[in-house]
Chain A
Amino acid sequence: MPSKGKPAKSRASEASKSSPQPTTTTIASATQPPLPPTPPSDDTQTVSDRAKSRSAAARPLDTLLHQKGGALSALSRQDQSAWLAARIASRLAKRPALAASATTTGGGAAVARLSCGGGPKTLKEAWKAVNELSLPLRAVDSTSAAAARKRGYCYRNGEGDLRVKEFEARWEKKLVLSCLAVESRCFRDRRERERRGDREEKTGEQVVVTEHEVFEETRRRREMAALRRELYGGGVGKDGKLATDPEWDDVEPVVLEEPEGALAAIAYPADYAEAMAYLRAVMQAKEYSERCLRLTEHIINMNPSHYTVWLYRAANVFALKVSIPDEIAWLNRVALSNLKNYQIWHHRHLLVENYFPTIASDPATLSTFAAAERSFLQQILSQDTKNYHVWSYRSYLVGKLNLFGDADELAAIEAMIDDDVRNNSAWSHRFFLVFSNPAHASPGFAATEADPKVPAAVVDREVEYAEEKIRLAPQNQSGWNYLRGVLVKGGRKLGSVGEFVVGFVKGLGEGEEAEDVMSTHALDLLAEIYAEKGDKEKADLSLTRLGQKWDRIRVGYWEWRKKCVEAPA
């Protein structure tokens, strides 16, 4: 590489002075580049401004040329040759091998041809000029953003060009991040050594990673994650809760790419996407562990309706032999904050299926468990009285623990009916309690069929119960459906409650004034009672009045019922 030589300022100044065009700025003044004007070096200076001015300073002649409008002829002659010399020199400077061969014998001519298209003499003069003017040989290529990115610099942020101060702060953060990364690497190495059973170099003791070290590492990773987020933006698997937790280091998250054009694709929150990626990994490995339990809890908190996660949780609970009461206690908290979710109830079902055989022979534990379940069910049903999945689970539980004859269960249901006599879920549960009780129910009968084994006393009691509740609110269909269901199940004629029913219908067919119907359901049942007795005329009248006045929206049905009455039985 040719040396830069000593400054040639004075010579250049002289040359410029001798220029015939006094208006022309010459290279003499270009040691401080005239363009662009140096912006004030204060807080407002942006990085790209600074880069531009540095670039301009490194190419004084180019800058001058630019100022003159780009035409070489606008420069003084001396500046022209200086410009040319700078071009040649910088071309050579970029190609060190070429420059080196210039010094070998016979190489000079070839190099000269390649670099400046002239002979060795031109080359020599060029070097001389560069030397004398002390022109910079190498300069920043370009100030473009693309070039900056290529070098790993970021000149811009969301708001525009970065200020120099910000840029420097960024550098500092990068430095901190690098240091943390080295420390984190050391931690991982140490843990690897611990796993291998290595010994400490100094003490010769077994390598043990202490809890404190793990704690420090967690803190460190959080810091790294925060720095990364700040520097490079968020990203799954780099800075999430799990990726920063050393406990999950051995798991490679399985990130799922949606196919192109995927429909109804969800823009997952980063936490959720990360957790799912780890879930896929552990499910694939069929891992059952404490951390998997925690992972499922984490996901369930974000999306309680994810059946895959629930089933995987159940598998973990059983594989790890987690105490079922503990799991149920956890589940209660989840259930109370997710009333409409039903995966919760299947999970509970699975837990009971697993738990029951272990307590089946222990009446005390069994009754404690039943009481605890009932108490929780009451709590949740008090908030959502008709929750279908809760009631379905309740009927399962009654069957599983044989609570049909349990006075507390019946009392609990009665209390709910007292609260809201129209709660049909409670009525349905009562029907199940009474008529599916293996103590007096025959298996295999459909719900709408008579069961000869049901004792008359039970039927009497239930008829009485239904009648009592119907009196409270005669237009409440729950009570009527129950009453009718009881009669059919008990093999009783509908007419056996005829007297009760007719009390809700006055002056049928005796004109608009005289006719009063307190319950359309009573009139409906009355029509059936008349048909049962063979009084087709009255049955027909009841149905006609329902369609004409009392329950008009169902007129199509009432008309069909009239045909049923007429049809041969």
Chain B
Amino acid sequence: MATTGTPQRHPPAPRSPAHRSPDSETVDEEIAFDTRQRGVMIPDLFTQPPPVRDALATETSQVQDETVEVCLPLLGGEGNDVQYNEHGVPPLDRERHVRFLHQCLGQLPGRFVAADASRPWFLYWCLSALTMLEEDVTSYRQSVAATARSMQNDMGGFGGGGRQLSHMATTYAVVLSLALVGGDDAYEVADREAMWRWLCSLKQPDGGFQVCLGGEEDIRGAYCATVIISLLRLPLHLAPESPAYTEDGSVNLLTGVGDYVRRCQTFEGGISGQPNAEAHGAYAFCALGCLALLDHPGRSIRSYLDVPRLIAWLSSRQYAPEGGFSGRTNKLVDGCYSHWVGGCFPLIEACLNSTSGGLGAPAPAAEDPATATASSKRLPPADESLFSREGLIRYILCCCQDETKRGGLRDKPGKMSDAYHSCYVLSGLSSAQHQWLLDDPEAAQQQQQQKGQAEQGPVPDQTTSPPLPSLAGGEAVWAILPYLDGLQVFDNADRVRPIHPVYAIPQQSVRAMRDYFRARQGF
């Protein structure tokens, strides 16, 4: 943290008069000398190994030590051919990253055959990253629409390529890509009725979703499904063919999703991909994203998760001196967790900072009374950042940028950049550079009710009793501000475009797509 970093920071390099030449013409030289005096403004937190280390060496500690070793020179301002600012942080090399990302959208060579089932991801990763770099991606509108059409199945959903089975992950990636390029032509690509049927066929009686017909059930499925339902404004009731269908209509597409998420929280406090596995950063984001769509995070996250344990686990994902996040306990930092873990914090903050669920009020009861766990304890708001934004930004700008002409962003020094890491490293940068504020649930609800009245009548689901879960969280409007507290170690030009904390694309893109389908009667 910048605020407490002062005592640890090296004092500014002394410019003793003895070093200063009386000749004014040498001033330039002296400034250059100062820049070469690297590390003058870098807190030793980021230049020294951690203060507590064990003597016992195991495979885990060996790879951890190696990682610290490759990061330290870059964090200490000793990277080759890199220009550092006065904080020892290099600029975001937009030009190279943009070029790299455009390339990844073009024709891929034969060795990319392993990506044959995940081409839609390349679309999303590249378009999202380009958008964050403030590139205009609307020129891709027609080609995204055509590519998406070639991957859509009559049975609903999108596969990894033409004539491949529809998959939740690839469908998510396609829908987000369509939202990113925007426009009626893009929105009209998705066959919403078929999509709804397909999602119904994947809905499981235990609340979760399979990722494809006959495929595994995991928390990715739940997150992708809620995002797709919300963006395309699909109806929530179940088709009779759904494995989760009940005749009394007591189950809809979202029923039990919260409980499924709850079963994925582990004893460590983090979230696993499916119940009984190890806590993992990517699944933590899926869990929180999912809950933030079901309802206001102030209610849903508290209802279903042990929030203090989750925060403890999320926080311990950040390491020093690296500054980046790891995905699991005792694993290495990786740039992609800048998003998967870093992206959890805006949702956690929204949860803690909502007054209705916070210090003033008890947590609302979940579907199952047993879920009123430790979360029912009142939690203080997060007035200040729960993670070190400076640390994450340093890791991203110093360690995750490919410094060769290739461009793109990466896992860690020594790894090749790729589209996946470019996207999620930049998403993480966006989390670190901005803050998101969410209206209180009550205020949001009132607003929604007024809107509902204006639009002639409430959502039909609410007429049934007991109330079925809805996508109340999807209506939430987030205020996005640049984060300006404390010391800013990056240059203003390096602030990337903010993205929505749940959909991971700009809020305007989310709103435009949802507005487009709002007016739609039926499919």
Q: Which residues of A contact B (CB under 8 A)?
A: 254, 256, 258-269, 272, 276, 280, 283, 302-308, 311, 314-315, 346, 349-350, 385-386, 388, 391-392, 395-396, 399, 419-425, 428-429, 431-432, 435-436, 444-449, 472-478, 481-482, 485, 488-489, 517-520, 524, 547-557, 559-560, 563-564, 566-569
Chain A residues positioned under 8 Å from B50 (CB to CB): 551
Would you give the 0/1 interface string for B193-224, flagging 1 where the beta carbon is closer than 8 Å to chain A? 00000000000000000001111100000000
Set of chain B residues within 8 Å of A431, measured between Cβ atoms: 266-267
Contact of B267 among A269, A272, A447 (CB under 8 A): A447
Asked whether B107 is an interface residue with its Cβ less than 8 Å from the other chain, the reply is yes
- CB <8 Å contact, B278 and A391: yes
Q: In the assembly, what is the distance between CA of A304 and CA of B114, in Å?
A: 7
Interface, chain B (partner A; CB < 8 A): 1, 4, 8, 45, 50-54, 56, 58-61, 104-110, 112-119, 122-123, 126, 140, 142-144, 146-147, 149-150, 159-165, 167, 212-216, 262-263, 265-269, 272-274, 276-280, 306, 308-309, 311-312, 315-316, 318-320, 323, 328-331, 359, 368, 370-371, 373-374, 377-380, 382, 384-388, 391
Contacts of B215 in A (CB 8 A): 307, 311, 346
- From A448, A557, A564, B380 is in contact (CB under 8 Å) with A564
Q: Quick check: B280 and A475 within 8 Å, CB to CB? A: no
Q: Are A264 and B104 in contact, CB atoms less than 8 angstroms apart?
A: yes
Q: Could you tell me if B159 and A308 are in contact, using CB atoms closer than 8 angstroms?
A: yes
Q: Which B residues touch A482, using CB under 8 A? A: 267
- Is A550 touching B147 in the complex (CB atoms < 8 A)? no
Between-chain CB contacts (< 8 Å), 6 pairs: A259-B149, A263-B147, A395-B277, A421-B56, A423-B59, A569-B378
CB of B276 within 8 A of CB of A399, answer yes
Give the residues in chain B near A421, CB-CB below 8 Å. Answer: 56, 58
Most buried by B among A391, A554, A556, A566: A556
Other A-B pairs beyond A265-B107, A423-B60, A552-B320, 11, CB < 8 Å:
A256-B162, A261-B147, A264-B119, A268-B113, A306-B116, A350-B214, A424-B278, A446-B265, A554-B388, A556-B1, A560-B384
- Given the complex, which residues of B lie within 8 Å of A350, measured CB to CB? 214
With A and B bound together, what is the CA distance between A420 and B331 in angstroms? 13
What are the residues of chain A within 8 A of B163 when measuring CB–CB?
A: 254, 256, 280, 283
A304-B113 Cα distance, complex, nearest whole Å: 10
A552 to B165 Cα, complex, angstroms: 48
Q: A266-B119, A431-B267, A448-B306 are in contact. Are A303 and B276 (CB under 8 A)?
A: no
Enumerate chain A residues within 8 angstroms of B105, measured Cβ to Cβ: 263-264
Are the CB atoms of A518 and B52 closer together than 8 Å?
yes
* Closest 8 pairs (CB-CB, A-B): A485-B267, A422-B60, A264-B122, A563-B380, A553-B320, A261-B143, A557-B315, A428-B278
Contact between A519 and B52, CB atoms less than 8 A apart: yes
Q: Which of B56, B118, B122, B263 has the most CB of A within 10 A?
A: B56
Cβ contact within 8 Å between A473 and B56: yes
Check A552 against B45 for contact (C-beta < 8 Å).
Answer: yes
Q: Is the CB of B380 within 8 A of A307?
A: no
Q: Compute how far the CA of A555 lies from the CA of B391 in the bound complex, rounded to whole angstroms.
A: 11
Contacts of B4 in A (CB 8 A): 547-548, 552, 555
Instruction: State how many angstroms separate the Cβ of B488 from the closest Cβ of chain A.
Output: 16
The distance from the CB of A479 to the nearest CB of chain B, in whole angstroms, is 10
Given A254-B163, A424-B328, A553-B323, the answer on whether A569 and B377 have CB atoms closer than 8 Å is yes
CA distance A269 to B108 in the complex (A): 11
- Give Cα A125–Cα B306 distance, bound, in whole angstroms: 112
What is the bound-complex CA distance between A538 and B277, given in angstroms? 35
Contact of B146 with A448 in the complex, beta carbons under 8 Å: no
Within the complex, the shortest CB–CB distance from A153 to chain B, in Å, comes to: 33
Contact flag A553-B45 (CB < 8 Å), given A265-B108, A311-B215, A423-B330: yes
Cα distance, A214 to B140, chains bound together (Å)? 51
Chain B residues closer than 8 Å to A485, beta-carbon distance: 267-268
Once A269-B113, A308-B165, A388-B273 are accepted as A-B contacts, the answer to whether A553 and B318 lie under 8 Å apart by CB is: yes
Contact A475 B53 (CB under 8 A): yes
Contacts of B266 in A (CB 8 A): 428, 431, 447
Which residues in A have their C-beta under 8 angstroms from that of B53?
475
Query: Once the chains are docked, how many angstroms separate the CA of A8 from the CA of B189?
Result: 79
Q: Quick one: which of B53, B315, B359 has the most chain A CB within 10 A?
A: B315
Contact A263 B267 (CB under 8 A): no
**In the complex, residue of chain A having the shortest beta-carbon distance to the beta carbon of B115:** A266
Cα distance A519–B149 when bound, in Å? 55
Whole-angstrom distance from the CB of A421 to the nearest CB of chain B? 6
Q: Are B387 and A556 in contact (CB under 8 A)?
A: yes
CB pair A264–B315 under 8 Å, yes or no, is no
Q: In the complex, what's the smallest C-beta–C-beta distance from A507 to chain B, in angstroms?
A: 15
Q: Report whether B56 and A388 are in contact in the complex, using a CB–CB cutoff of 8 Å.
A: no
- Bound CA span A448–B1, Å: 30
Residues of A within 8 A of B143 (CB): 261-263
A477 and B276 form a contact (CB under 8 A): no
- Chain A residues lying within 8 Å of B306, measured Cβ to Cβ, are 446, 448-449
Q: Which of these, B117, B146, B160, contacts A261 with CB under 8 Å?
A: B146
Task: State whether B167 touches A385 (Cβ < 8 A).
Answer: no
Chain B nearest CB, measured from A147 CB (Å): 35
**Cα of A322 to Cα of B58 in the assembled complex, Å:** 43
How many Å lie between the Cα of A518 and that of B318 in the bound state?
19
Q: Are B110 and A266 in contact (CB under 8 A)?
A: yes
Q: Is the CB of A474 within 8 A of B319?
A: no
Chain A residues closer than 8 Å to B323, beta-carbon distance: 553
User: Per a CB cutoff under 8 Å, which of B52, B115, B330, B386 touches A520?
Assistant: B52
Nearest chain B CB to A449 CB, angstrom units? 6
Which chain A residue shows the least CB distance to B112? Answer: A266
Shortest C-beta distance, A329 to chain B (Å), equals 22
Minimum CB distance partner of B264 in chain A: A447
CB distance from A387 to the nearest CB of B (A): 11
Separation of A349 and B274 alpha carbons in the complex (Å) = 14
Say whether A550 contacts B278, CB under 8 Å.
Answer: no
Contact: A266 with B387, CB < 8 Å?
no
Determine the distance from Cα of A519 to Cα of B54 in the docked complex, in whole angstroms.
9
Of A263, A308, A428, A555, the contact of B140 (CB 8 Å cutoff): A263
Q: Which A residue sits closest to B4, measured CB to CB?
A: A555
Quick one: which of A307, A396, A524, A551 contacts B160, CB cutoff 8 A?
A307
Taking a contact as CB atoms under 8 Å apart, the answer to whether B380 and A266 are in contact is: no
| Whole-angstrom CA separation of A261 from B50 in the bound complex | 51
With a cutoff of 8 Å between Cβ atoms, the chain A residues found around residue B280 in the complex are 388
Q: Which of A305, A386, A431, A554 has the most CB of B within 10 A?
A: A554
